[in-house]
Chains A and B, each alone.
Chain A
Amino acid sequence: MNASVNCSRRRFLQVSALLGGGLLVGCKMGNQEAGKSVAINGWVRVGPDGAIRIICPRNEMGQDVHTALAMLVAEELAVDPRRVSISQAPVDPAYYGNQLLGGAQITGGSTSTRDAWVPLREAGATARIMLVNAAATQWKVPASVCRAENGYVLHGARKLSYGELASAAAQQPAPKIVRLKPADQFSVIGKPLPRLDGADKARGLSIFGIDVAQPGMLYAALSACPVLGGKVVAFDAGAASSRPGVRKVVNIGEGVAVVADHYWTARSALADLRIEWDEGPAAKLDTAAIYAALEGARQSPHFAIVKNVGDASAVLPRAKTIEAAYRMQMLAHGTLEPQNCLARVGADGAVDVWASTQYPQGAQAAAARAAGVQAGQVRIHPQFIGGGFGRRLDVDFVPQAVLIAKALPGTPVKLIWSREEDTTHDFYRPPSLHLLRAALDGGNVVYLTHTMISPSITQRMFPGMVKDGIDDFMIEGVKNLTYAIPNLLMRTIIQDVGIRVGYWRSVSNANNAWAIESFLDELAHAANKDPLALRLSMLDQLPRQQAVLERVARDSGYTATPAKGRAFGVASMECYGTYVAVAAALSGGGSQVRLDRLCIAADCGIAVHPDQVVAQLEGGVVSGLINALRSKVTVKDGRVEQTNFHDFRIPRINEVPPITVAHIASTETPGGLGEVGVPLVAPAIGNAVFKLTGKRIRALPLEDGGISFV
């Protein structure tokens, strides 16, 4: 999700006194509706007791936004980030909207740091200037002779704490000009710092959505139609209702919920319901039909051209052409925290929702629709997310919980899905078919055409954003192709396949990089060139991408002529503003392959929190292994066949090889990080498998291609 948005947004600095006399500062970001008055809110609070609270506009799901974004504020506020506390922002897109995602209050697309890079530092700087001005006024000296340091304003031997100054600072006019520190003066950004949420998470103290408790809370378990899109026809509530502890049985249309004093009571009672289903239009769907739908669209006239460069007709007659088709499997998200939501619907229509969500604004709208109230009557309380990966951009569990809670007015009800419900009622990573053709002339790639055929997630979630057949999130990995190839024709075809699809960490970068980076490898072999050398030769204008490729080659011990029984594969790309490369080192032979090492290098510009840059890249590589090795979702009789972690297999500690991470320092503005580790793992390994075994696998997961990883 890399919506290219003009970054020359206008910002409006707003300052206001908090009730109780604190200082609240926010950069109210202007967009098209900038003239409208917006509720006063902010990112920095300085309490009279000196407690500093930073309000984080993005949701923490492991990607480190609570720490990294706090570091941006702390840098300019002149406070020790270890001494601030973090609050999760409420829903207020006028304030907390993500300008890289159309202004919606969404956490996704590896945008959080990029979006916050300037405004959150400005928020910190504004607060600091006002605190300094307040002290200067009190001391009757010019502000220019005062300085802010570690939560105090100092002048000579005098000092006042931010807490002592907060009330007076709130009365100061907002500065008209805010100058940000140059990078060589950073004392927080780029420096080591423990994650602010790390210690609690190692001690079981962090509260995730599933952990939230409210007085008088009841629990709900749900049996949803086993076929996505199906509905309840009839059920027998009698036996379930008569179980001790069961309070209510609620039909929410797509399923039936049992509400009880305790979760296990509710969950156990589901077995008594004997629900009759109308399985709906997907009742006969199976995996073969899904791929047949993609195949059937090969010649579709409804294609969109993403990129059209040069003129192939001039080169094709004299060039050697090569064709291939690649495929990508469906995947579940498998967040370790199953989907859940706590909701309370008051008799007065006030709705409270506690949820692990990447999209609080969407959660609010969906809760309001379900409750039949205005969005303003819904308060969303976003919690720590036990794994997002895009699953929690969808908010399906929110209206479910609200509908259930509505049947018990005033009572908070916590809905928790089983793992089986979670695996079979996901929004799946889209399957895709990729048609590639290229021309080689004198050993050079002179022409490449690629057609990606896939269902569109955006058409389901944000239909207004799909224009002229182009889903911006479906062309990731294509529009950002960086190799110098003189003639290019990149097309997409949106083809529905009858199953709901969702954003999955790195979105279409994974699909398209799998196809393109694997096919480039085929071209290198056809041209009798080393795949690494071929890539480097097409990146003369991009030294940053060359550097990451060279780095993984060095770290992995890459050689074009490995010893027998060993092989290397590489892949590289630009992804969410970051240059990234992966090398895979394999050994073995025949159908038995050993994954010896994976190396990743990234140039993401300035690294705000360097240790977590490494952590995100490591974790991204492990997510890439889900995509690469053996995980898949298949469908039979309209039902997702995988149900739990025994058959939707994600890598375990013994299946993950050593991972070498290199972060290449740069002074460029920050690029994205949360997803960039994912896409290149599959093609790098696939390319190494070819080198090792001579087998070119063109469909994921690789183990379905006749090899196994040992």
Chain B
Amino acid sequence: MVTLRLNGRNVNVDAPPDTPLLWVLRDHLGLTGTKFGCGAALCGACTVHMDGAATRSCVTALAAASGHKIVTIEGLAGPVGQAVQAAWDRNQVPQCGYCQSGQVMAAAALLGQHPNPSDADIDQAMQGNLCRCGTYPRIRAAIHDAAKQLGAPK
């Protein structure tokens, strides 16, 4: 039994400790907002926060996640998370939507660290998150929009 600090609660999981966090979330805990895309940290669909940092859950073993503060899309809260999702709504970002949990989590982690990211910061932080539908222009616009709403100095 491994204990996870997940979305503000302690959760006990009965899974082999080398199980990727992604599959623990999806199969054992029924949290399907975090998506499987590549299994190799190449697409970002599985992005969660580990101690506030964007982390690919598909290559993070359950044992490695234990003891850290894990937040998934289902638990994203607070002013930054809300600002990102509101900006996603205003900019009508999603198309198929499959990558968007990961995009939102990556964007929230970015804004948590850089309240007013430049385009280069966005390139750096978001290039690990593929969007096969091509919503990149709107993702970029939404991140700038969220930063503005959070009151970052211009």
Contact = CB atoms under 8 A, between A and B. Distances in A.
Most interface-central of B34, B122, B131, B135 (chain A CB within 10 A): B131
Given A264-B27, A653-B129, A419 B97 contact: no
A85 to B, nearest CB: 17
Contact of B96 (A204, A386, A418, A651): A386
Contacts, number: 177
B73 interface: yes
B17 to A, nearest CB: 12
A627 B48 CA distance: 31
Interface string A627-657: 0000000000000000011100011111010
Contact of B35 (A199, A337, A388, A620): A337
A433 to B, nearest CB: 28
A198 interface: yes
Contacts of B38: 419, 644-645
A63 B139 CA distance: 17
A643 B140 CA distance: 29
B51 interface: no
Contact of A416 (B36, B43, B140): B36
The number of chain A residues touching the other chain, given as a range, is 35 or more
Interface in A441-474: none
A263 B131 CA distance: 24
Contacts of A659: 137
A63 B100 CA distance: 15
A611 B98 CA distance: 20
Interface stretch (A145-153, A205-213, A304-312, A563-571): A205-213
Contacts of A206: 97
B33 A645 contact: no
Interface string B115-153: 000000011101111111111111110000000000000
A385 interface: yes
Contact of B95 (A264, A619, A654): A619
Interface string A471-508: 00000000000000000000000000000000000000
A248 to B, nearest CB: 17
B130 A650 contact: yes
B122 A653 contact: yes
Contacts of A622: 131, 133-134, 136
A335 B97 CA distance: 12
Given A198-B94, A204-B74, A653-B123, A658 B137 contact: yes
A205 B31 CA distance: 10
Q: Is the interface of A mostly helix, strand, loop or mixed?
A: loop
A620 B134 contact: yes
A318 interface: no
Given A619-B134, A645-B43, A653-B129, A204 B95 contact: no
B94 A653 contact: no
B8 interface: no
B97 A201 contact: yes
Interface in B21-60: 23, 26-28, 30, 32-40, 42-43, 45
Contacts of A334: 132
Given A198-B94, A263-B27, A386-B98, A652 B132 contact: no
Contacts of A204: 32-34, 72-74, 100-101, 104
A606 interface: no
Interface string A386-412: 111100000000000000000000000
Contacts of B27: 219, 262-264
A615 interface: yes
A623 interface: yes
B65 interface: no
Contact of A386 (B15, B34, B97): B97
B127 to A, nearest CB: 5
A655 to B, nearest CB: 8
A618 B100 CA distance: 17
Contact of A195 (B39, B72, B92): B92
A34 interface: no
Contacts of A652: 127-128, 130
Interface of B: 15-16, 19-20, 23, 26-28, 30, 32-40, 42-43, 45, 72-74, 76, 85, 88-89, 92-101, 104, 122-124, 126-140
19 contacts: A198-B94, A202-B104, A203-B76, A204-B72, A204-B74, A208-B98, A210-B32, A211-B26, A263-B26, A265-B16, A335-B98, A336-B43, A338-B37, A384-B96, A619-B133, A619-B134, A622-B134, A652-B127, A653-B140
Given A264-B19, A616-B95, 17 more contacts: A62-B97, A201-B94, A202-B93, A202-B94, A203-B104, A204-B33, A213-B30, A262-B28, A338-B36, A386-B35, A386-B98, A618-B135, A621-B134, A644-B38, A646-B42, A652-B128, A656-B137
Closest CB pairs A-B (n = 5): A204-B33, A622-B134, A201-B97, A386-B98, A62-B96
